[in-house]
Chains A and B, each alone.
Chain A
Amino acid sequence: AQRVTQPEKLLSVFKGAPVELKCNYSYSGSPELFWYVQYSRQRLQLLLRHISRESIKGFTADLNKGETSFHLKKPFAQEEDSAMYYCALRGANSKLTFGKGITLSVRP
């Protein structure tokens, strides 16, 4: 069985503060991991995928197979980063599983 855990529901920080959104997974094979962002009442947008190893909007995420984690990080939060963030895992059977999401609130 595959599972994605996002242990926190809400993270509130001030503008300019560092951000780390946690994601842990459970999967017996080699997973494919994603971060999606959802702005208020809009569709989910792909933010990052682990195989691309790129930085989008200042966000980065590194797959740590030893700790089975794929945490999302940004050194300096901006107000426009306020949104819901979801971590997702796709297994070998193409099944795509999401965590429960975390709301990021960036205060001015």
Chain B
Amino acid sequence: NAGVTQTPKFRVLKTGQSMTLLCAQDMNHEYMYWYRQDPGMGLRLIHYSVGEGTTAKGEVPDGYNVSRLKKQNFLLGLESAAPSQTSVYFCASSWGQGPPYFGPGTRLTVT
């Protein structure tokens, strides 16, 4: 039982490049979330999903897209990376009204 995993752990991108971050959970959770964590800003919700095939915008969705084609996976895409997207990205998942569990994070640097 791996819980919530994130791939990759670290990545450096050049401005304008694209990439996809993968979040996977093996707990059969319905809800999944993507956050970014920046100093002094706390965790800000980018997008979230309440079930397979559904997604919704959070507080800071611009510049990001997501997909939830399979229940266990939640993908976060950056189509054209910008230095402002340098951050640590966390994924979380939960079932029904259970508490959300977090992944280990992905540290992304955009130069």
Contact = CB atoms under 8 A, between A and B. Distances in A.
B43 A86 contact: yes
A95 B99 contact: no
Contacts of B35: 98
B58 A44 contact: no
Interface of A: 6, 9, 32, 34, 36, 42-46, 49, 86, 88, 90, 93-101
A76 B105 CA distance: 31
Interface of B: 31, 33, 35, 40-45, 48, 50, 56, 58-59, 90, 92, 97, 99-105
Contacts of A44: 43, 90, 92, 102
B90 A100 contact: no
B103 A43 contact: yes
